[in-house]
Amino acid sequence: MTNRELKVRYDAICDDLARRRLKPAFDRLEKLINESGQLPFLDEWRNLDQTYHFMLKYTVEGIQDPERQKVYRKLIVSVYELADKVYDAARFRFSSALEYEKKRSFAGSIDFSDFLNELEAYALHDELRSLVDEVELKTESSTTDPSDLQDKIVKLFYHLWFQNELKKEETEFVRDFLKSELIDVPYKAFIVSGIFLSLLRYFDKSKFDLLFEGYGNENPEVNQRALVALVLAFYRYDRRLANYPGITARLRFLDENPAFKTNLETVIVQLIRSKETEKIQKKITDEIIPEMIRISPNLKDKINLDSLMDDSMGEDKNPEWEKIFEDSPGLMNKMEEFSEMQMEGADVFMSSFAMLKMFPFFSELSNWFMPFFASNPEIEMGLKQHDDFTDRFIRVIDSAPILCNSDKYSFCFSLRNLPAENREFMAEAMKAEMDQFKELQNDEELTDPGKKVGFISNQFIQDLYRFFKLHPRKSDFEDLFDWRLDFHNKPALGAILKEDEKILRNVAEFYFQKNYFEEAAEVFTYLLEIEKNGEMYQKLGFCYQKMNDFRKALETYQKAELYELNKKWNLNKIALCYRNLKQPDKALEYYREAEMLDEENLSIQLNIGHCLLELGEYEEALKCYFKVEYLEPGNKKVWRPIGWCSFVVGKKEQAEKYFHMLVDDEPNKHDLMNMGHVQWSLGNRKEALDFYKRSIDRSDFTEQEFFEVFEEDLHHLLAQGVNREDVPIMLDQLRYFVEE
C-alpha cells in the first residue's frame, strides 16, 4: 500500500468523523485495518462499533440519557485516535517516506529521570569554561566537547518527533527543559520545532499543551516558533479540535491579550505572504538580475567606487549614482521595490540560497530546523578553518534579521570557498548593511511595537519553506505551503479573527493587495455583513471582476453606487460588467454618464466607441475613435476599430490606410484577415489571397478558427461588393495552400 493510498484513506475517515458520519467512518476504518494488515486493532474497532450500535439503539427507542452527547463526543475522539494508530502503524510498516525511514532506524531510549541534569551539566561546564582558563577545568574529559551536548539535543529532537503520544515524564521534562536557565535558547527553539513536526505527524493533545507553554516562554526565539507552530497546527486539525474544548479554550484565553492578537495577525499575514515567494523569485530571476548583469560592465566607468566609501561625503548623495541606471531606467524602481519587499519581510533570498543546500550539514534532517548560533560546533566542523575574519563574519551573520537560519548556515559554509581577503571585504560590507538595517528596525520598533519579534517568526516560516520546498526528498512530506491558508474559514482561528474587525480587514486588504481575489472576496463579504461600506463594496466587486464573475461584480458595483464614492471609477466598472455580459446598450448608458464627468477621458471615449461598434452603429463609433485619435495622435489602439468600422460602412480606402498602418507595425492574425477583406472588396483578389495566407499561416490561428471567423465576416464582404459565387473559389484556394 503506497503512502498516497494510505493518506487518502486516512483523510476520508477523518472527513467522515468531522461531518459526524460515524457509520461510513467505521466502514472505512475496518477496511483500512484489514487491507493494511493491522489486525491487532480489530478488537478495539469492534468494541467501538458495538458501543455505537448500542447508542443508536437506545436513541431510537427513546431512552433518555443526559450524558448521550458527552458519550457521543468521546466516541468520536476514540475513533479518531484508533484511526491515528492504524494509520501510523501502516506507515511504519509500508511507508518509504524519509520521516518513517528515520523513525524505523531511530534507536536508543532516553532516561528522562536524570536527562535534564545531564544537559544542564554540559551547559554549566561551557559557561564556566568561558570564565575560567580551560586548563583548570579538565577534570572530566567527557564533558568538555560541545558536540556531545548537541548530539544529545539532536537525539532528544528525534525522540520527540517520532513519539506518537507523549508520556507524562516526557511532557514534564520538556516543560522543565524550556524553563531551564542553563539551556541555551537556540536549543529550546530547536526542541519546539521537534514537537511541532511530531504534532504534524501524529495528533496529541499534550503536544498542543507544550506549544502553548512554549509561546509563554519569555524569549522571542522560542515563543515565536511556538506561535507559528500553533497557528499551523490549528489550521491542520481545525475540524478535529471541536472535540477538544480544552485546547480551544487556551487559545481563547490568549485572545484576551491585545499583544497576542497583534502577534497572531503578523504570523497569519507572514504565512499568507509565503505563497508569494515563487512570484518574487521569478521577478528577481527574470527581471532584476538580468538587468543588473547587463549594466554591471559599465559600473566602473560610471561611478567612482572609492568615493562611495569616503566618509567626508557626509549625507550628500553622489549625483553619479543616478547615472548607473541610465541604460536601465526601470531597474531603479525594481530595486526600490525589492528593498521595500525585504523590509516587509518578503522572502527575497530563496533563489539565492536554493543552490547552497548541498553542504553536508543539510544531509542531517534535523539541521534544517536548527536555529543559527555562532557557537554551534557544526559550523567549526563544516568550515575546517578559523581566523579572525571568519569569526567576525559569523557574528555578523548571526545578527542578520533578514536572513533565515537555514540561509545563515548556507552563507557560513560557503565561506570556505572564498579567499581570506574576500571574507574580510564581505564581513565589512555586511556589517555596515546590518547596522543600517538594525537602525531602521529600532526606529520601526518605536512606532510599531512587535516589529522585531515579527522578524523572528518570519525567519522560522522561511526555514520551514526551505525545508518543504528544497529538501532533496521534499516529496516525502505533505507541503504545508500548498495549503490554502484561509485562516478566516477555520473555526478556532477564524472566530478570533472575526472578533476583531480591524485584524480581519487587514487580512482582507493583504489578500486584495497580493491578488488573492477569491480569499479577499470571502473576507470582504463577511465584513460587509457586519457593516456596509462603499469602499469594501467596490473592492469586493473588483474581486468578482477578476474572478470573471461579472454578474456578481455588477450587483456589487451597483450597491457601491449608493455611496457616491469615486463615482466615475464605479460607473466605468459597471459599464465593463455590462459589456462582458453582452449588454452593450446598458454599458453605453453608463459610459455616457461617466463621459459627463470627464469629457476628455480617452479611455471612456474608446469604450463608448466599442459599445457603438457592438451595437452596429458604425458611423457613430467612428466619430468616437477619430476623437481619440485627434486628442492623442499616434494612439495605436484606435487604428484597428477605425479600420474595421471604415470597412463595414464602405470607406474602403480609409480602411486600407489604417490596416496598412497595422500590417506595417505588429499585425495580429485578424489584422491580416481584415486587410484581405479590404483588398478583396477593392477588387484586388491576388493581394487578398496573400493576406489570407499570411493570416492562416500564423501558429495561433488554426484552419478551423480561420474559416469560422471568415463565416462571421461574410455578410460584411458581400455588403461591400464581393461576389458570393467567388467565395467558395477563394476558400478552396486557401485549403490547397494549407495542404501544401
Residue pLDDT, tens place only, 254-269: 988 999 999 999 999 9
Specify the pLDDT at position 165: 97
- Lowest mean pLDDT, pick from 132-136, 185-189, 229-233, 454-458: 132-136
> Are 150 and 237 in the same domain?
yes
If one counts every other C-beta atom within 10 angstroms of the C-beta of residue 3, the result is 18
Residue 310 pLDDT class (50, 70, 90 cuts): very low
Within a domain: 127: yes
Can you tell me the mean pLDDT for 452-459?
93
How far is residue 244 CA from its own chain's centroid?
A: 30
Can you tell me the mean pLDDT for 644-649?
94
Residue 212 has pLDDT above 80, yes or no: yes
Top-confidence range, 46-50, 372-376, 378-382, 432-436: 46-50
Can you tell me the mean pLDDT for 717-728?
94
Instruction: Judge whether 276 and 481 are in contact, CB under 8 Å.
Output: no
| Cα angle value 252/253/256 (rounded, 5°) | 90
If one counts every other C-beta atom within 10 angstroms of the C-beta of residue 254, the result is 19
> Are 258 and 115 in the same domain?
yes
| pLDDT higher at 527 or 381 | 527
> Are 193 and 53 in the same domain?
no
Q: Which residue has the cell 437506545?
A: 58
**Burial class for 108, CB neighbours closer than 10 Å (0-12, 13-18, 19+):** exposed
- Lowest mean pLDDT, pick from 127-141, 166-180, 388-402: 127-141
Q: Which residue has the cell 518509504?
A: 96
> Are 118 and 59 in the same domain?
no
N- to C-terminal Cα distance for the chain?
54
- Lowest mean pLDDT, pick from 275-284, 323-332, 603-612, 687-696: 323-332
If one counts every other C-beta atom within 10 angstroms of the C-beta of residue 98, the result is 16
Within a domain: 586: no
Question: Pick from 242, 275, 308: which residue ends a domain?
Answer: 275
| pLDDT higher at 436 or 251 | 251
Query: Distance between CA atoms of 637 and 659, rounded to whole angstroms?
Result: 12
State the DSSP string of 339-386: HHHHHHT---SHHHHGGG--SGGGGSGGGGGPPP-TT-HHHHHHH---
What region does 505 belong to: left with phi over 0, alpha with psi -120 to 50, or beta? alpha
> Are 71 and 185 in the same domain?
no
State the DSSP string of 519-576: HHHHHHHHHHHHS--HHHHHHHHHHHHHTT-HHHHHHHHHHHGGGTSSHHHHHHHHHH
Residue 431 pLDDT class (50, 70, 90 cuts): low
Cell of 278: 515563487
- Lowest mean pLDDT, pick from 173-177, 386-390, 412-416, 656-660: 386-390
Instruction: Judge whether 573 and 541 are in contact, CB under 8 Å.
Output: yes
Residue 691 has pLDDT above 60, yes or no: yes
Span 319-360, pLDDT tens digits: 544 444 455 556 556 666 666 777 777 888 898 889 899 999
Query: Distance between CA atoms of 312 and 290, rounded to whole angstroms?
Result: 34
Can you tell me the mean pLDDT for 185-190?
98
Q: What is the three-class DSSP state of 245?
A: helix
Span 477-506, pLDDT tens digits: 999 999 999 999 999 999 999 988 899 999
Instruction: Judge whether 241 and 260 are in contact, CB under 8 Å.
Output: no
> Are 44 and 187 in the same domain?
no
> Are 231 and 187 in the same domain?
yes
> Are 252 and 121 in the same domain?
yes
Specify the pLDDT at position 156: 97
Query: Distance between CA atoms of 660 and 638, rounded to whole angstroms?
Result: 14
> Are 155 and 252 in the same domain?
yes
Question: Pick from 443, 463, 497: which residue ends a domain?
Answer: 443
Residue 572 has pLDDT above 90, yes or no: yes
Residue 442 has pLDDT above 80, yes or no: no
Within a domain: 448: no
Q: Which residue has the cell 493581394?
A: 687
For residue 136, the 8-state DSSP code is G
Question: Pick from 408, 443, 478: which residue ends a domain?
Answer: 443
Q: What is this structure's pTM?
A: 0.84
Within a domain: 206: yes
Span 76-116, pLDDT tens digits: 999 999 999 999 999 999 999 999 999 999 987 899 999 99
Cell of 535: 469602499
Residue 533 pLDDT class (50, 70, 90 cuts): very high
Specify the pLDDT at position 560: 95
Calculate the average pLDDT of the chain: 87
> Are 13 and 161 in the same domain?
no
Query: Distance between CA atoms of 460 and 230, rounded to whole angstroms?
Result: 13
Specify the pLDDT at position 401: 84
| pLDDT higher at 309 or 173 | 173
pLDDT cut 90: percent of the chain above it: 68
Instruction: Judge whether 201 and 236 are in contact, CB under 8 Å.
Output: no
Within a domain: 335: no
| pLDDT higher at 10 or 297 | 10
Query: Distance between CA atoms of 255 and 500, rounded to whole angstroms?
Result: 10
Residue 285 pLDDT class (50, 70, 90 cuts): confident
Can you tell me the mean pLDDT for 608-617?
94
Span 122-156, pLDDT tens digits: 878 766 666 654 444 444 444 457 788 999 999 99
Radius of gyration of the chain measured on its C-alpha atoms? 34
> Are 188 and 261 in the same domain?
yes
| pLDDT higher at 607 or 452 | 607
Query: Distance between CA atoms of 175 and 168, rounded to whole angstroms?
Result: 11
What region does 598 belong to: left with phi over 0, alpha with psi -120 to 50, or beta? beta
Residue 309 has pLDDT above 60, yes or no: no
Burial string for 417-443 (b: 16+ CB within 10 Å, else e) reads: eeeeeebbebbeebbeebeebeeebee
Within a domain: 540: no
Specify the pLDDT at position 184: 95
Helical axes 168-179 vs 205-215, angle rounded to 10°:
10
- Lowest mean pLDDT, pick from 287-291, 359-363, 423-427, 707-711: 423-427
Span 9-68, pLDDT tens digits: 999 999 999 999 999 999 999 999 999 999 999 999 999 999 999 999 888 888 877 888
Within a domain: 684: yes
Specify the pLDDT at position 112: 94
Q: Where are the alpha helices (DSSP H) in 106-204?
A: 112-129, 146-162, 168-179, 185-201
Can you tell me the mean pLDDT for 208-227?
97
What total of structural domains would you count in the chain? Answer: 4
Domain enclosing residue 233, as ranges: 105-133+143-275
> Are 267 and 218 in the same domain?
yes
Within a domain: 529: no
Residue 314 has pLDDT above 70, yes or no: no
